Homo-oligomer: A and B are copies of this chain.
Amino acid sequence: MTLESWNDGEARSAIIEFVERTVRDVPENERLAVFDNDGTLWVERPAYVQELFLKERLAKRPELMEHGLVQAVLALDADRTPEEFTGDVETWFAGAKHPRFDVPFAQLTYQPMLELLEYVRANGFHVFVVTGGGVEFVRAVGEALYGVAPNDVIGSAVQVSFERRDGRAVLVRQPAILGSPNEGAPKAVNIQTHIGRRPILAVGNSAGDREMLEYVHAGDRPSLCVVIDHDDEEREYAYDSVAVTNPDAEPILTTAEHFGWTVVSMQRDWSRVFA
């Protein structure tokens, strides 16, 4: 059944109505969808999954902490190749468990969102993940979790340099961020840099997704903007999602009301939370 973990209600109806209209009116090569990751496709509490990954590894390298957390994080994987980093993520991911739910993080994607990905793809949409998290971290797991190829993940990145080692070309991670973290206005900018066209469907959950949602909302085509409201303390968490890089930003639910975006209540709209 289509969207079977979605209860009947305004959110489910708005999604189906939009997708059916798109199939009628929008050429397939313009059916572009952008999804935030943390708190939109999978759990982001009590901490971002990537944060847990980094902290566990930093705990083994206390000497890196003398210049502060950011420098330590950047130093942790400097001088390594993207392939080596990806291997580390995969290894960690296979063994790590969520502190509260005590299951691997692969089981903490949201079942209704997986169904939404499947539903829009079945209707010709091309799905991109646009994450504030590290692009290589999400790429390492995106294909298995969401069926999203590495080239369809846009995220925060570190600089890499081209080098030759023993005469063989290799890319090497540098201890420096590439541009700005992919949150807020950079999400919209990087959609242009990477995708090159304005999407018509955007899903997010925090103030860090605001500009991405606004950009999609302002296109000439009919569009759908969806905000996930974490209001289910029992099955997941109840909290106001904020932007890491801009904690004083207007709450995204206020923005959603202003623009008339579709709000998904985890408690009310989802019959099941986790995959």
- Interface of A with B (CB < 8 Å)? 29, 82-83, 126, 128, 135-136, 139, 143, 149-153, 157, 160-162, 164, 168-171, 178, 185-186, 188-189, 192-198, 211, 214-215, 217-218
Would you call A171 and B188 a contact (CB within 8 A)? yes
A196 and B82 within 8 A (CB) = yes
**Cβ B192 vs Cβ A160 within 8 A:** yes
Residues of B within 8 A of A136 (CB): 196
Which of chain B's residues have a CB closer than 8 A to the CB of A153? 196
Interface residue from B150, B161, B198 paired with A196 (Cβ < 8 Å): B150
Given contacts A149-B29, A153-B196, A193-B178, contact A162 B185 (CB under 8 A): yes
A149 cross-chain contacts in B, Cβ below 8 A: 29, 126
> How distant is A105 from chain B, measured CB to nearest CB, in Å?
20
Ordered nearest first, which 5 A-B pairs have the shortest CB separation?
A150-B196, A162-B185, A169-B214, A168-B218, A169-B218
CA distance A214 to B218 in the complex (A): 43
Instruction: Name the residue on B nearest A136 (C-beta).
Output: B196
Given A29-B143, A218-B169, A151–B189 Cβ distance below 8 Å? no
20 contacts between A and B (CB under 8 A): A29-B143, A82-B192, A83-B198, A126-B151, A128-B151, A136-B196, A139-B196, A151-B151, A151-B152, A151-B196, A151-B197, A153-B196, A157-B193, A160-B192, A162-B211, A164-B214, A169-B211, A171-B188, A171-B215, A178-B193
Q: Once the chains are docked, how many angstroms separate the CA of A150 from the CA of B160?
A: 24
Cβ–Cβ contact B162 & A195, under 8 A: no
The smallest beta-carbon distance between A162 and chain B, in angstroms, is 4
- Cα–Cα distance between A226 and B193 once the two chains are bound (Å): 28
Contacts of A139 in B (CB 8 A): 196
Chain B residues whose CB sits within 8 angstroms of the CB of A82 once the complex forms? 192, 196
Cβ of A197 and Cβ of B150 under 8 Å apart? yes
B211 touches A189 (CB 8 A): no
Find chain B residues with CB under 8 A from A178 CB: 193
Residue of B nearest to A188 (CB): B162
CA distance A35 to B178 in the complex (A): 25
CA distance A169 to B255 in the complex (A): 14
When distances are taken between beta carbons in the complex, the residues of chain B under 8 Å from A193 are 135, 157, 160, 178
- Alpha-carbon distance A135/B196, docked complex (angstroms): 9
